[in-house]
Every structure is written in C-alpha cells, then in structure tokens.
Structure 1
C-alpha cells in the first residue's frame, strides 16, 4: 500500500514538473526578438501601459493563442511586448491581434482587453490598440496614447523629456464599420444610442450612471447592446 502511494506521488510530481517546464518553455522557445523602444534612458515617465508585467492571454495572427503570459503594451510604439526568460522585454514576431490582461481586484478577476484592426479615423489607424470597454453591435472603446514632451530649462542647455499620457473614447458601429470620436456625457450617449433613447435614459437615471466613469459607461453600453 505504501509502495503504491509512493509511486502515485512520484507520478504527480512528474506531471507537475512537466507542466511547469512546458509553461516555461513557451517563453524560452517563443519566436520573438529583443524589444527596442528607441527612447533615451534620461526621461521622466513610463512609455508602457502598466508599471510592471501583467499576466494575460494573447492572440496572434493565424489563430495562435497563449495564456498566462507576462505582458505589457508599449503605448508609444503601439506594440504588445512580453517578458523573456531572463526578464528582458521581448517583441512578438507574429502580429498581435488582441491581448487580454487580468488581475484580481476586491476578490474578483478583472479583464482588460485590447484590440486593433478597427477602421481608420481622422486621428487613428488600424494599427492602434484600443481598450474594449463594451463589445457589441455598438462598441465603446478607449484609446490611450503617450507623447514625448520636450522642454528646455530657462537659461540652460539642458533639455528635459517627459512622457505624458492622453486618453480618448470612441464608438465603433459594426453595422456600417465606422469609428467615431466620442466625448462621454449624457447628451453624447443619448445621441449615439438614439434608437433606444428612452430605455437608455431610464437605465441611466435608475442606475445613477456617472458618465465620467469607465465602469458605468461600460455597463450602460452593455445594457444597450442587450436591447
């Protein structure tokens, strides 16, 4: 009996080690290249979306999907990067279609999904990543981008560089494949969702929607898409 239990423990240990090795092997063997931002080291601010690596699921071209990958997004370069085996920043060789980052907040799993491939607008391209706040026939998207602000100190030859973060909201309509810049507010929401204006207005009133809050806006658009 003890012999059987010992054998079972050895099998379980082997399976666990094998699974861990496979998970690690993906990062070691994944076809990628060292990430180069092109920015100097002497600047203030972070060109990446997150301050640290965040695990998530990435979908590459050719329907390749990988889970539990420590990733981030280089917002200035508009590319998803991942953590290499030595902790270095790596770029995917294959095109990244979408990336879903997940974390635990107040005991619940929070997903943040970023996609590209949306139609061109006056100030965006299909290569730009958008955070999908609400997906449906009419999707609510949030775009985050960063700019490099350069300023010369008075009476000095020193040039300071600071990374500034900007955000904007967009509405993507699947029926006519259009992407429209959207400034959150009650009147703008009711205008965009005018074919169910009464229902949306009632929902917003009863739910005490804060039109400046991403979560509230997301729930409102999800409700609209359910009608």
Structure 2
C-alpha cells in the first residue's frame, strides 16, 4: 500500500511538473478587450483564432492559437484553460499563420517578422508580413486606427476601426516606403531596370496581388 501511495504521489508530482513547464513555456498577461467596446468593428487582422507557429527572440518556438491586434501591434494567444486572450510575456520575433488574412493578401500561409529599423510609427518590435524574402525584401505593415466621426449639429460621435496597409522595401539594413506599382518599384530597384521591364512585360505583373509581387521580387533577387 505504501509503495502504491509513493508511486501515485510521484506520478502526480510528475504531472504537475510537466504542467508547470507548459505554463512556463508560454506565459501571458491579460488582454483587455473591453477598451474597444464603443468602437464599431474589431482591432484584429483576422477576427477568429487561427493556428500559428511562433518564434521568440530567445530562440524558442511554440505553436498556439493566435490573433493579431493591429491597433496595439501585438500578437495574442489563446489561454488553454479558459480560452481568454493573453499577451505573450516573452518578446516575439516572428510568427506564421496557417490561414490567409482575407482580402488584404492572397498569400495563403502568411509569415510576419520583426527586427527591422524604426520607420514612421513603427519600432524594431513591429511586425511586417514578409511578401518576398531574400537580400531585398518586400514587406507589408498592417495598422488599424480608431476614427471618430460626428455628424454636423449632432452630439453623438461614432468610433470605427479603419484598416491601412503600407508596403516597405528592406535592403542593406535600411527600410523605406514603396508603392505597389510599376513606377515606384522600378525607381527603388533601378540597378536592374531593363531586366525588370522585360520581366514585367512578359509576365503581366498584377500589382494588387502579393503573390505576383513576390514573384517579381524573387526574380530581382535572382539576378
């Protein structure tokens, strides 16, 4: 009997230890959604939990259901015990979603990265969707701001989330804005103008398609 109790106790302790390691692996702080209760719409890139692979600055990688808050530029994960949303305590380096981001991008498995130089209102901790990787990267930053509208002679104001996305070029450790059109791209990549013009002519680049833009930049990186 004593041997059984000892074995049972050891098993319980082992389970508790394993559970503690899981909690330690993914620690989080509460996410206060109620701050958005008077705003129409939502602050998220995708308004549902999606599976994601998360890489931390310390080199650790985990998988979890996540959401991406575009107002606070913060990645959230689902608390397994009660399904509430939490912020990651440890700094996130990058994450990959197993779901597209809807109409904003036609890339099926979007990858987001951080660690780029500060620009506009972004810091090195800000996330960008990597449209094309390599020595010259095409990045896309999503942001939602809260717009307040008030009709003339009305005491009532409405607040709405407004989505914007801006493309950036990252090369030689420098980041700059770029527009997804032929003129802006040829100006930014002027060292290979003739080759790019030939590619654009023969491939009919769709500048509204991230997949098409990725192919163009991958071609440029191959030259």
**TM-score (ref. length: structure 1):** 0.80
Task: Give the one of 170, 174, 191 matched to 1:195.
Answer: 191
Residue in structure 2 matched with residue 56 of structure 1 by the alignment: 52
Task: Provide closer, same or farther for how the CA distance between residues 130 and 104 of structure 1 changes in structure 2, counting only shifts above 3 A.
Answer: closer
Whether contact under 8 Å (1:132, 1:139) holds in the other structure is yes
Task: Give the one of 19, 29, 32 matched to 1:33.
Answer: 29
Whether contact under 8 Å (1:76, 1:145) holds in the other structure is yes
Residue in structure 2 matched with residue 17 of structure 1 by the alignment: none
Residue in structure 1 matched with residue 73 of structure 2 by the alignment: 78
Task: Give the one of 164, 167, 177 matched to 2:165.
Answer: 167
Whether contact under 8 Å (2:186, 2:193) holds in the other structure is yes
The 3-state SS of whatever aligns with 2:185 is helix
Whether contact under 8 Å (2:114, 2:128) holds in the other structure is yes
Whether contact under 8 Å (2:112, 2:129) holds in the other structure is yes
Gaps of 5+ in 1: 1-21
Q: Which moved more, 1:160-169 or 1:26-35?
A: 26-35
The 3-state SS of whatever aligns with 2:98 is strand
Q: Deviations over 1:63-112 (max 9, x none)?
A: 01013x1111111001110111121111100001111111389xxx9311
The 3-state SS of whatever aligns with 2:99 is strand
CA distance in 1, matches of 2:44, 2:129: 14
Q: Which moved more, 1:146-155 or 1:181-190?
A: 146-155
CA distance in 2, matches of 1:203, 1:226: 12
The 3-state SS of whatever aligns with 1:103 is coil
Mapping of residues 32-181 of structure 1, within 5 Å: 32-37=28-33, 39-67=35-63, 69-85=64-80, 86-103=82-99, 110-173=108-171, 175=172, 177-181=173-177
**TM-score (ref. length: structure 2):** 0.81
Whether contact under 8 Å (1:37, 1:77) holds in the other structure is no
Aligned length: 199
Q: CA RMSD in A?
A: 2.4
The 3-state SS of whatever aligns with 1:157 is coil
The 3-state SS of whatever aligns with 1:223 is helix
